[in-house]
Amino acid sequence: MNDQNDKRPFADGVSRRSFVSVGSAALATAALSGLAANAQQREDTTRAEGDHSSSDPGPENKLLLGLNPNSNTPPPTDHGDIGPIWYSFDLARKRVEEGGWTHQVTQRELPPSRDLAGVNMRLTSGSFRELHWHTADEWAIMEYGNARVTVMNPDGTMFIDDVSEGDLWFFPAGYPHSIQGLGPDGCQFLLVFDQGMFSEDNTFLISEFVAHVPPEVLKKNSRLSSSDIAKLPKEQLYIFSASLPRSLAADRAAIGGSSIAAPQQYTFKMGSMPPTVQSAGGEVRIVDSSNFPVSTSVAAALVKLKPGAMRELHWHPNAAEWQFWLAGKARMTIVMPEGRARTMDFNANDVGYVPPVAGHYIENIGNTDVVFLEMFKSPHFVDFSLNNWIGRMPPEMAAAHLNLDESALKKIPREKQPIIAG
């Protein structure tokens, strides 16, 4: 991909990092999963360069470890094993077609992620992701460029709209739809599906439907002539080049105008909505079924953290968290029962996973803004704040549990602060 197409959106001009190729994606995941377990056994709590306990005289992938310092030499508070919580789209096999490409991170690559899977896709100007449908609901966010999307309801009403950077769409399972890249340079987008084992290769395509029905049945069904049927695709199109469409208004008019327009709004302008939460440390935009009614199975938050800021200590009671990292550099610690804890580093194009109801935080450890998505298989975004909980306890209860006196407890913020400035 050229430099122009390699820009990551929502990043205030930050370009996507070049991630080192490490041979086998599975081996890379296993290696990162094992780094903390090996390094955390040392008793001292220093991370000095001369610390002999954490030295490694054997072979190392210096570039990979340089991107993951907290994974390589974790803080002494890490303990035990909670399983893999990191993967990267830059390790995923990319399927390249004439007109674009696609690659995915599913439960195959990130085994604990049973509820959600992600697909990153690029379409050049005019190119289609061909007409198709899925067994899973599809939630999407535009990362770059412009596209035209269509979806049909069971009653035959149609929805057509144009989307650009920061916009969302949601297509229910089984609903036929299409995506076409527009000018000047097509588009790139993230698709999120509500099935962990979803595969982008396992979709129902209009080309394969007509290619595998006997010609005489097609003729009877469609009233096409034999010569017409001979022109139909004989294999899948999947992603393919095409001419740019007419204007949005012209396409809407061509299919019947308002008389067949879908009553539902299947797109949402997330990028231009006012922040749900805004503070000196950053901002959060939350989109779920309360403000995007068709999104009945996926809730999301787009989070921006300024340098040094952090997403406060919290947990989600209703679903696991699937993350997509758009820009910047951050670290996250997840705390599980029996004192298990794991810290990992995240960079642009990474995927993160937080088990259901696990406590965690996210901290910007770079010098540019961190931007990431929190995704949940749920109609609603819900979280609990540790500070808020402590602040709502009777003082004696908090003191008994935390061994703090009243003056110390008063220092802890009583209200929920999704983002804490650095």
Can you spell out the DSSP letters for 314-374? EE-SS--EEEEEEESEEEEEEE-GGG-EEEEEEETTEEEEE-TT-EEEEEE-SSS-EEEEE
CA angle, corner 311, sides to 309 and 315, nearest 5?
Answer: 165
pLDDT at 383 over 80: yes
Query: Cα dihedral angle (297, 302, 308, 309), rounded to 10 degrees?
Result: -70
Domain range enclosing 308 = 277-420
pLDDT of residue 162: 98
In a domain, 378, yes or no: yes
pLDDT at 26 over 60: no
Contact 106, 197 (CB under 8 A): yes
Q: Under 8 Å CB-to-CB from 377, ≥6 apart: which residues?
A: 115, 116, 194, 297, 298, 319, 320
Q: Which helix (H) or strand (E) holds 149?
A: strand 138-152
**Last-in-domain residue among 237, 268, 299:** 268
Percent of the chain with pLDDT over 70: 88
- Tokens of residue 254, six digits: 């061509």
* DSSP tally for the chain: helices H, then strands E: 10, 25
In a domain, 14, yes or no: no
Count CB atoms within 10 A of the CB of residue 306: 18
pLDDT digits (tens, 9 = 90+) for 336-360: 999 999 999 999 999 999 999 999 9
pLDDT at 390 over 70: yes
* pLDDT class of 9 with cuts at 50, 70, 90: very low
pLDDT of residue 36: 45
pLDDT of residue 72: 85
Q: Are residues 204 and 316 in the same domain?
A: no
Indicate the range of 8-22, 59-73, 185-199, 296-310 predicted with least confidence.
8-22
In a domain, 133, yes or no: yes
* pLDDT class of 73 with cuts at 50, 70, 90: confident
Q: In the predicted model, what is the mean pLDDT of residues 151-156? A: 98
In a domain, 320, yes or no: yes
Q: Is 60 annotated as a binding residue?
A: no
Q: Are residues 243 and 291 in the same domain?
A: no
Instruction: Give strand pairing partners of 268.
Output: 168
CA angle, corner 9, sides to 93 and 160, nearest 5?
Answer: 85
In a domain, 206, yes or no: yes
Mean pLDDT of the chain: 90
Q: Is 338 annotated as a binding residue?
A: no
Q: Which helix (H) or strand (E) holds 4?
A: none
* pLDDT class of 32 with cuts at 50, 70, 90: low
* pLDDT class of 51 with cuts at 50, 70, 90: low
**Last-in-domain residue among 215, 243, 268:** 268
In a domain, 72, yes or no: no
In a domain, 246, yes or no: yes
pLDDT of residue 10: 61
Count CB atoms within 10 A of the CB of residue 79: 17
- Tokens of residue 217, six digits: 């049945």
pLDDT of residue 101: 98
pLDDT digits (tens, 9 = 90+) for 274-285: 999 999 999 999
C-alpha to C-alpha distance for 254 and 260, rounded to whole angstroms = 11
Q: Is 145 left (phi over 0), alpha (psi -120 to 50) or beta?
A: left
In a domain, 102, yes or no: yes
Instruction: Give strand pairing partners of 95.
Output: 102
More confident residue, 409 or 54: 409
Q: Are residues 122 and 211 in the same domain?
A: yes
Q: Are residues 128 and 232 in the same domain?
A: yes
Per-residue exposure over 100-127, b if at least 16 CB sit within 10 Å of its own CB, e if not: bbbbbbbbbbbebbebbbbbbbbbbbbb
pLDDT digits (tens, 9 = 90+) for 116-137: 999 999 999 999 999 999 999 9
pLDDT at 13 over 80: no
Q: Is 103 annotated as a binding residue?
A: no
CATH number at 409 reads 2.60.120.10
Q: Are residues 284 and 170 in the same domain?
A: no
pLDDT digits (tens, 9 = 90+) for 241-273: 999 999 999 999 999 999 999 999 999 999 899
Check residue 42 and report its DSSP letter.
Answer: -
Instruction: Give strand pairing partners of 351.
Output: 87, 324
pLDDT of residue 71: 87
Q: Are residues 282 and 256 in the same domain?
A: no
Three-class HEC string of 81-121: CCCCCEEEHHHCCCEEECCEEEEEECCCCCCCCCCCEEEEE
pLDDT of residue 114: 97
Q: In the predicted model, what is the mean pLDDT of residues 31-59? A: 56
| pTM assigned to the model | 0.88
Q: Is 52 annotated as a binding residue?
A: no
Q: Are residues 264 and 282 in the same domain?
A: no
DSSP for 178-201 reads EEEE-TTT-EEEEEEES-TT--TT
Q: Are residues 258 and 135 in the same domain?
A: yes
| Catalytic (active-site) positions | 374
Q: Is 79 annotated as a binding residue?
A: no
Contact 384, 353 (CB under 8 A): no
Name the amino acid, one letter, at 364: N
**Last-in-domain residue among 226, 246, 268:** 268
